[in-house]
Amino acid sequence: MDNATEQAAREIRLSRIHRLSSTMKWFVTVVFVLIAVLGSLLALVTLLPVMAGITASMLDLADVERKLSDVPLGQRIGLVATVCVAFFLLGGICWHARQLFDRFSNGAFFEPETQSRVVKIGAWLIAYGVFDILSNPISSVLLTWDRAPGQRQLEIALNGGEFLVLIFGALMLVFGWIMREAATLAEENRQFV
């Protein structure tokens, strides 16, 4: 393959990376905003069901179903805290993904900030996976805390999605570390020559 053909093929690949990364940057931005809005609304409705006009609504978390207005305020505050942590972690993942797509769309593939974003996405995904495993037991205890000692529940449920998030998080973490090593080797080679 001659140099001109190789350069044209490279330009096509870079253009494809730029287009998809730009599109994904804005898609993730919309998802980030939706996460913020939905998290805020869910927290508000859970804290103030009477003001939201949904006192008869049922709350179904961790296989425990209760009328929202029957859950004492202290327990609802605990539930809101768990919801806020979940939405905060999802928001962090989206924020770093948005920044990573922005860097990719600008062709900054092997810069330290790009590698840092990949590592951060991995760390945030692992944090979310761990929290997702813990959230069902925490939510079930919070929902049943005011019941008599024999009626309280501790629900432990795994659906496999948590493990997928953990595996993908570890993959991103290792990929970020590998990118750092590749960039270090490339810099050493440039200095050697």
Higher per-residue pLDDT: 152 or 90 = 90
- If you average pLDDT over every residue of the chain, what do you get? 87
How far, in Å, are 10, 79, 107, 118, 182 from residue 110 at the CA level? 17, 41, 9, 11, 8
Note down the domain range covering 150.
Answer: 3-192
Helices (H), 48-59: 49-52
Q: How far is CA 98 from CA 46, 106, 111, 162, in A?
A: 29, 12, 16, 22
pLDDT above 60: residue 55:
no
Rounded CA-CA distance 181/187 in Å is 10
pLDDT tens digits along 88-142: 999 999 999 999 999 999 998 888 899 999 999 999 999 999 999 998 888 888 8
pLDDT tens across 164-185, in order? 999 999 999 999 999 888 878 8
Count of structural domains within the chain: 1
CA distance 39 to 91: 10
- Work out the pLDDT band at 193, boundaries 50, 70, 90: low
Burial of 118 (0-12, 13-18, 19+ CB in 10 A): buried
